[in-house]
Amino acid sequence: MIHQVCPNPELLQQLYTGPLGAHVDTFAQQMLGQGYASSTAKYAMRVLAAFSTWLQRQDLTVTDLNEQHVEDFLYDHPWRRRPRRSDRSVLGQLIAQLRDHGVIPLPVVEAHHCACERVTGDLQHYLLHQRRLVPATVSSYLDVVRRFLDHHRLGPRCAHRSELALSRSAEVYESRGRRVAVAQL
């Protein structure tokens, strides 16, 4: 299966001998199953190989992975001056797959003190676990929701706004999906 998306023997060796080796076939199978073009899957394998090498240099194992390691890798990697948008997405898909298979734990959600934080936390959970969006996309959506709440003075000082509900945040999310500007809401 992996030979379809990674015909380069040196790259294969790099993938299989690194910390991600046991999960590469599953990831390649997932990409092909989701209908990715072979060129996209091949590029994703190169990103995974570079990430696996970086993990080895950092003395990290697969079970140590989280979104911060992805950010550190993207910052540290030589191509950081011109990374592709898909690099973060590929690694986000990898982390989601590893979480789905129970290899790495779900991110810990902090206790929220005000209604706005609870709403954004609930929305984050919904987007990650029910909609199964990658963390980078979720972060982007949460930024929109926070700007909306701040714009309508429901932001960080919203401790007395307990009437806020997840459904309203979901409406903001859905509006963004329809490309409606936050200012128009």
Q: In whole angstroms, how far apart are CA 55 and each of 2, 4, 50?
A: 21, 25, 9
Q: Are 144 and 98 in contact (CB under 8 A)?
A: no
CB 45, CB 7: distance < 8 Å: no
* pLDDT score, position 162: 42
Highest mean pLDDT among 12-26, 96-110, 151-165: 12-26
- Residue 138 burial class via C-beta count within 10 angstroms: exposed 0-12, middle 13-18, buried 19 and up: buried
Q: Alpha-carbon distance 23 to 45, whole Å? A: 12
- Does the pTM surpass 0.75? The reply is no
CA dist 28 and 55 (Å) reads: 19
Residue corresponding to tokens 């590893």:
98
- pLDDT of 164 reads 47
Residues in the chain: 185
pLDDT tens for each residue of 34-79: 888 888 888 888 888 889 989 999 999 999 888 888 888 888 776 6
The yes-or-no verdict on residue 24 having pLDDT over 50 is yes
Q: Are 41 and 32 in contact (CB under 8 A)?
A: yes
pLDDT in the model for residue 120: 85
- Condensed to tens digits (0 to 9), the pLDDT of residues 124-177 reads 889 988 888 888 788 888 888 888 877 776 555 554 444 444 445 555 555 555
Query: Domain coordinates of the chain in residue numbers?
Result: 2-100, 115-184
